[in-house]
């Protein structure tokens, strides 16, 4: 039974939040890790890509470029008003 994209997105967000400050996740690493956490056959690479797109479009995660592309949580500027 396929996992809904919103549930995959929540799982991916949790993975990115856990890795913050420890290591940077490349998009493909995040997808492979998400597929590994799901039961066999319940999600595909395309499902994970769509879930990642949901996260990026909503602004919950962003792509960062440090020589390569990474998925991170958005950073707040030091002088930003809350």
CA dist., res. 26 & res. 24, Å (int): 7
Confidence of residue 53 (pLDDT cuts 50, 70, 90): very high
Going from N- to C-terminal start, the domains of the chain cover 5-72
**Span 5-24, mean pLDDT?**
91
* Per-residue b or e along 32-52, where b marks 16 or more CB atoms closer than 10 Å to that residue's CB: ebbbeebeeeebeeebbeebb
For the chain, give the percent of residues with pLDDT over 70: 93
- What confidence tens digit (pLDDT) does each residue in 33-45 have? 999 988 888 889 9
- The CATH code belonging to domain 5-72 is 1.10.10.10
Which residues, at least 6 apart from 40, have a Cβ–Cβ distance to it below 8 Å?
A: none
- Supply the mean pLDDT for the chain: 88
Largest CA distance in the chain: 47
Confidence of residue 58 (pLDDT cuts 50, 70, 90): very high
């Amino acid at each position: 039974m396929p996992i809904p994209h919103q549930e995959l997105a929540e799982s991916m967000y949790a993975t990115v939040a856990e890795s913050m400050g420890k290591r940077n996740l490349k998009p493909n690493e995040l997808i492979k890790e998400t597929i590994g956490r799901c039961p066999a056959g319940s999600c595909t690479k395309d499902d994970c890509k769509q879930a990642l797109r949901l996260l990026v479009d909503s602004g919950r995660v962003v792509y960062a470029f440090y020589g390569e592309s990474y998925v991170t949580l958005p950073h707040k500027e030091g002088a930003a008003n809350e």
